[in-house]
Amino acid sequence: MKQKGKIALEEICGQTFRTRLVEASEYGKAAFTHYLHNYEDRASRYYKKEAIDHVKKALEYKFPDEKITNIVAEEALQYILFDFKKNIPFPEPESPTFTFIDLFAGIGGFRIAMQKLGGKCVFSSEWDKQAKKTYEVNFGEVPFGDITKEETKKFIPDGFDVLCAGFPCQAFSIAGKRGGFEDTRGTLFFDVAEIIKRKRPKALFLENVKGLVNHDRGKTLATILNVLRNDLNYYVPEPEIINARDFGVPQNRERIYIVGFRKDLKINHFEYPKPFNIKVSFEDIKEKEPVSVKYYLSDVYLNTLKEHKKRHESKGNGFGFEIIPDQGIANAVVCGGMGRERNLVYDDRITDFTPVTKIKGQVNRQGIRRMTPREWARLQGFPDSFIIPVADASAYKQFGNSVAVPAIQATAEKVIREILNYDKRK
């Protein structure tokens, strides 16, 4: 039968379809949005079947008395393509020069950096539901879920250029003396390595916490490098500790970067980027207008923090509570625990000192407050056009877990230069 009505993108991505229907599969919406992003490219074939099934389900809901065939669903899918990408805050470049995949994508810090350099993302994955919501709002794409599942891995297309991954740090159960590929089984690095082994991208760019250097007395990093260099046959220069504050954001955030190149590219030299000659401070990213009273600490809570700090310092222990001056540099933003108290600031631009129900006691008149989620976004180098669609608690977690975009971009620029030079030499 011919489709008697049209179906809009919002009807397939909207709340009604999500809550009142069982989707075509747990991969339905991810495959659907990935297909829309890649319909003109060879990567689209990896998503087309699931995308059609997803649209078919939506049509069956909208037209319950009609027989919906795959042909009708595909016609509807083609119609949707005309409206797609119109209102995406961070669209892919019109003429991309390379492709990449975004593993452990979070809210898309890697993606912003790579798209700025001319890259097109052909696959993304992230398991956290709130992070996926933020990713979708900004990039028009729903990341796939658990990358450890074979069903998820099967959607990854062949032929992409760069694998990007900010994977979690986990200890390995080293069964043999060598500390190789098989010894990483059961960890998320194993899944990254498995994808590299199958897909053989030209380059890889991995990010992790600085603590990876000494994790398990250095065995974890040694195993990772051994797998990449010897088991997977990639040229991997010595990893570098990169500090975000050296690349234009007022945050003291050290992370280890690991880059690698497939050996047949004959790239045998790589230099990490030098620090930018830019002086920045919190004042550069501070909210220009007064912020909501909810970000100000109460007298009760502020006094509690001060007492805790005294007790911990007397024992020689550090403590999260710290006030960052306008001319200072923030501590690394982190999620959980006392994460939001590591970066308090003075800001007396407040006129409403009435009690707030969510705050025990009166708002302090010293003007000491937490940084806002937008300030955390700026500390990580996210532009102000980046949409924050989630509650503050989720936003802090997401930015705390994210990468510092300018530092990622500066490093990725050098990686991309190498592989593009290789393409010119062929």
- At 347, which amino acid appears? D
Question: In this structure, which amino acid lies at residue 257?
Answer: Y
The structure tokens listed for 155 are: 């959607």
Q: What is the C-alpha separation between 146 and 293, in angstroms, rounded?
A: 39
HSE-up of residue 151 (Cα within 13 Å, Cβ side): 10
Q: Which of 121, 164, 169, 335 is catalytic?
A: 169
Please tell me the distance from the alpha carbon of residue 49 to that of residue 423, in angstroms, as a whole number: 32
Which ranges constitute the DSSP H helices of 64-121? 70-83, 109-116
Strands ordered across the beta sheet of 323-324: 323-324, 344-346, 368-370
The answer to whether 13 is a known catalytic residue is: no
Rounded CA-CA distance 359/277 in Å is 42
Q: How far is CA 408 from the centre of its chain?
A: 11
SS3 296: strand
Residue whose C-alpha is closest to residue 32's, from 11, 8, 49:
49
Token pair for 190: 């194993």
Q: With contact defined as beta carbons under 8 Å apart, do 358 and 298 qualify?
A: no
Backbone angles phi, psi at 129, to 5 degrees: -65, -40
Residue length of the chain = 426
Looking at residue 359, its amino acid is I
Degrees, nearest 5: CA angle 341-347-352:
105
Active-site positions read: 169
